[in-house]
Amino acid sequence: MGKLRYHKVPFRESKARKLSEEESAYLAGIIDGEGMVKFFKRKDRGDERLYICVTNTSKPLIEWLSKICGTMVTGNGSGHLGNKQIYRWNVYPVADAHAILTAVEPYVIVKKEEVHTAIDWCEMRLSGDKSHLDVTP
């Protein structure tokens, strides 16, 4: 795999609020069942991005995710499943992704490997470490 370019991006503290054990366990189940934790390379810049999202037809679920996790991005109207509107909750800032992933890590079952890899990646990005494991295919 080619060497990735890094851009000097100012990192901030997470704005995601601290989740209770119950919220963390429930969110882990949602991520395991309906979510995605994946890496991709941006074609325009060649840098690696972490993508965390949950897609669902339940608008109240997506609104709850946005509410309990603080300032996460909620995308409405991202498509249709049959005749039902689908909604998507995305987590982009690295600091927020790290806070959420470390909260759900003890409870995730199906996506445990993806969550561990993503936590390691977030910690390297937040520390400013320029060396890293290329996790995209």
Burial of 16 (0-12, 13-18, 19+ CB in 10 A): buried
Residue 89 confidence (pLDDT): 87
Are 42 and 49 spatial neighbours (Cβ–Cβ below 8 Å)?
yes
Residue with tokens 């509107």: 85
The two structure tokens encoding residue 36 = 């995605």
Give per-residue burial for 54-72: e unless 16+ CB within 10 Å, then b. bbbeeeeebebbbebbbeb
| Average pLDDT estimate for 126-137 | 62
Residue 113 confidence (pLDDT): 95
Measured N-to-C along each axis, helices 21-34 and 94-104 cross at an angle, to the nearest 10 degrees, of 100
- Percent of the chain whose pLDDT exceeds 90: 31
User: What does the domain layout of the chain look like in residue ranges?
Assistant: 21-127
pLDDT tens column, 66-99: 888 865 555 555 566 667 778 888 887 888 889 8
| Domain spanning 21-127: CATH 3.10.28.10 | yes
